[in-house]
Amino acid sequence: MSFQAYLDAVEEKTGLTPRRLLDLAHERGFDASTKAAPILAWLAEDYGLGRGHGMAMVHVITKGPQIASTHVGTSGTHRDASDTLWLDGRATRPW
């Protein structure tokens, strides 16, 4: 599963775009200095997200939407279309 696919699944499971979850995380004081455990606990408790989907959001919350270009343009199942994740929802994604 691609990184973007994880974020798409987060949106399906929560009804919130990754951007909205990012805003909510910042409102709670989560940022680049926050460890994964409290973010994962919040996402599990409030939204029912498991570890895999939660870790995708942890990356976005602590590191932003940029990902390594390792899988961009490859043909494997973990490939992503871009090294920048789309956070504004599947319906608005340009690709």
Q: What is the DSSP letter of 79?
A: -
Q: Model confidence over 19-42: pLDDT tens digits?
A: 999 999 999 999 999 999 999 999
| pTM for the structure as a whole | 0.90
Closest among 63, 53, 54, 58 to 84, alpha carbons compared: 63
Q: Model confidence over 63-86: pLDDT tens digits?
A: 999 998 887 877 777 788 888 999
**Inter-CA distances, 61 with 6, 11, 26, 76, Å:** 14, 15, 8, 26
Task: Give me 79's structure tokens.
Answer: 């490939």
